[in-house]
């Protein structure tokens, strides 16, 4: 079974620019998560989707971050405008939802804001 | 406050040696505890998942233990290999909301020949 796909793998932008990340979850997985992982720390949940609805976005900085999962499959996460402190790895994960505890992570996108 | 703490922060061992990583948590109500391995530049991969009633679980050379009374877990790696070099993250999920994961900051393990 194919894993969680993310692109791009690396991105370097200047502060105040905008950037978008894409995630394609494992086929059939209803739940999709975006995490931010700052170097040396564990991942922090930004937003959780159940199909195309938002379940939890309490830690998403909504003044600059947005995410969508329009058709309940793939998802995009956008940052506009970026700040230096947004430099991190952005991980996408998916799970089958109520039938499984397991979250499967993608390889991540490493963002550097200069 | 729901927290997961891991020790040591980093560890260096020689190939073939054993090691044990520690995890203490204050998450309540507890549902399950997971250990993930994260290679540099990759996403975390699950090694073990243990529920309240399980006190040990193995995955090859990895053995996790759980003491739900003291809220402690350990991950023991036997006969380490160079490919074991990675970060190991302890993660606890909440009862009634198993999607909500509380991550530790990880232990960075380096295995040298």
CB of B34 closer than 8 Å to CB of B46: yes
Alpha-carbon gap: B22 to the closest alpha carbon of chain A (Å)? 15
> Tokens 């036997």 correspond to what residue?
B78
Buried residues in B44-76 as b, exposed as e (16+ CB within 10 A)? bebbbbbeeeeeebeeeebbbbbebeebebbbe
Q: How far apart are the first and last CA of chain A?
A: 37
In angstroms, the CA A10 to CA A7 distance is 8
Q: Is the pLDDT of residue A1 over 70?
A: no
* Region class of B108: left (phi > 0), else alpha (psi between -120 and 50), else beta: beta
**A66 CB-contact burial (10 Å; exposed 0-12 / middle 13-18 / buried 19+):** middle
Confidence check: pLDDT of A98 > 70: no
Q: Which residues of A touch B (CB under 8 A)?
A: 4, 31, 33, 40-45, 48, 55-56, 91, 93, 95, 101-108, 110
The structure tokens listed for B107 are 């232990």
Q: pLDDT value at position A100?
A: 59
Q: How far apart are CA B113 and CA B14, in angstroms?
A: 6
What pLDDT, on a 0 to 100 scale, did the predictor assign at position B103? 93
Residue A28 near residue A96 (C-beta atoms within 8 A): yes
For residue B31, pLDDT beyond 90: no
pLDDT tens, A4-46?
999 999 999 999 999 999 999 999 999 999 999 999 888 999 9
Q: How far is CA B84 from the centre of its chain?
A: 13
Mean pLDDT, rounded, for B60-66: 97
CA–CA separation, A50 and A86 (whole Å): 25
Is residue B98 over pLDDT 80? Answer: no
Q: Are the Cβ atoms of B43 and A42 closer than 8 angstroms?
A: no
pLDDT one-digit tens code per residue, A51-90: 889 999 999 999 999 999 988 899 999 999 999 999 999 9
DSSP state of A62: T
DSSP designation for A72: S
Size of chain B in residues: 113
8 Å CB contact of A101 and B32: yes
Q: Which residues of A touch B99 (CB under 8 A)?
A: 31, 33, 48, 55-56, 95, 103
- CA angle, corner B45, sides to B41 and B49, nearest 5? 155
């Amino acid at each position: 079974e194919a894993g969680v796909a993310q692109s791009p793998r690396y991105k370097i932008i200047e502060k105040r620019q905008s950037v978008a990340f894409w995630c394609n979850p494992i086929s059939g997985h209803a739940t999709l998560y975006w995490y931010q992982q700052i170097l040396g720390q564990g991942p922090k949940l930004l937003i959780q989707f159940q199909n195309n609805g938002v379940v939890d976005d309490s830690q998403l900085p909504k003044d600059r971050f947005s995410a969508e999962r329009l058709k309940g499959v793939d998802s995009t996460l956008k940052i506009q405008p970026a700040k230096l402190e947004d430099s991190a790895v952005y991980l996408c994960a998916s799970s089958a939802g109520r039938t499984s505890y397991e979250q499967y992570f993608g390889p991540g996108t490493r963002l550097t804001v200069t | 406050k729901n927290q997961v703490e891991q020790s040591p922060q980093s560890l260096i061992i020689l190939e073939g040696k054993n090691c044990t990583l520690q995890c203490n948590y204050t998450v309540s109500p507890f549902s399950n505890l997971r250990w993930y391995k994260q290679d540099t530049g990759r996403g975390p991969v699950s090694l073990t998942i243990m529920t309240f009633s399980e006190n040990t679980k193995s995955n090859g050379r990895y053995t996790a233990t759980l003491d739900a009374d003291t809220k402690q877990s350990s991950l023991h790696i036997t006969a380490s290999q160079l490919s074991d070099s990675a970060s190991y993250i302890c993660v606890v999920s909440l009862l009634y909301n198993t999607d909500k994961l509380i991550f530790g900051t990880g232990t960075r393990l380096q295995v040298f020949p």
